[in-house]
Amino acid sequence: MDMNSNQTSPVMAFVLLGLSAHPKLEKTFFMLILLMYLVILLGNGVLILVTILDSHLDTPMYFFLGNLSFLDICYTTSSVPLTFNSFLTPRKTISFSACAVQMFLSFAMGATECVLLSVMAFDRYVAICNPLRYSEVMSKATYVPMAASSWVAGSLTAMVQTSLAMRLPFCGDNIINHFTCEILAVLKLACADISVNVISMGVGNVIFLGVPVLLITFSYVFIIATILRIPSAEGRRKGFSTCSAHLTVVIVFYGTILFMYGKPKSKDLLGADKQDLADKLISLSYGVVTPMLNPIIYSLRNKDVKGAVRSLYVLVCLTL
């Protein structure tokens, strides 16, 4: 009777395992992630500033870029502080409600970025394949609701997935084998049937991963076909330069996801332990590497952004 009572007692908090078994790695990765987080805040913060302050960047493409930069800051901020806490404190606990909030924010930012990247691909498609109608199609009355709908869609799916996960009974092991309340790691602790969650996440993956990938792919098929029909080499170069930064970001974003979830699982116990550590480090790196690379990619591969950043730097230097 007592045993049954213990098994069904509700979990009020979770323990984040993180890298507890590798204390030396904790110190190393704390410094590394801290440095990368500061670069994320600085790089994306500068991009947001230049898209707001520079009148030459008052276009749909840079409006979406400002949203992407703000999204990257929100995404990393939803998880990195919790990761720091797991590195610095011996008892790595998080309350049930805080876990739900962190899961929602992380899930919402990831889903929103998938939709936003497809919206940005559509913007490039219209600009290159139908330039004469660009200002008409991508008017402010169009691109602002498109960006807003990305945020709403990401928040709605996160609300559904988080509510389905956190309504499950957790009775027993409350140790999450992760740095944060990653939804798959949390679902492993449920002592009930999670088939509804699996189906829901499968549908969500199709909508928020599959559909955006298809839209991006079709957009770039038409974009590349249009650029290749341009007679002059200079025209083709200019056409590719207008979308190369976005395409690079897309490849980095989806390529990392495919690498994380598409690699084969090890079957032997020793290999599984090593893979578990590798999975954690890859997941940790993914959460900061992609948001860190985005502003670097746009600064290096987009001359308008590069010029705006340079102008902002000169302005700050003159002010100081």
Condensed to tens digits (0 to 9), the pLDDT of residues 274-296 reads 666 667 777 777 788 889 988 88
Q: What is the pLDDT of residue 69?
A: 94
Is the CB of residue 180 less than 8 Å from the CB of residue 214? no
Q: What is the pLDDT of residue 2?
A: 44
**Segments of the chain with pLDDT less than 50:** 1-7, 268-270
- Residue count (the chain): 320
Is the CB of residue 197 less than 8 Å from the CB of residue 168? yes
Q: What is the pLDDT of residue 116?
A: 96
Give the CATH fold of the 14-261+279-284 domain.
Answer: Rhopdopsin 7-helix transmembrane proteins (1.20.1070)
Residues 151-166 pLDDT 10s: 999 999 999 999 999 9
Is the CB of residue 141 less than 8 Å from the CB of residue 161? no
Helix extents (H) in 168-232: 183-187, 195-205, 211-228
Distance CA 254, CA 258 (A): 6
Predicted model pTM: 0.87
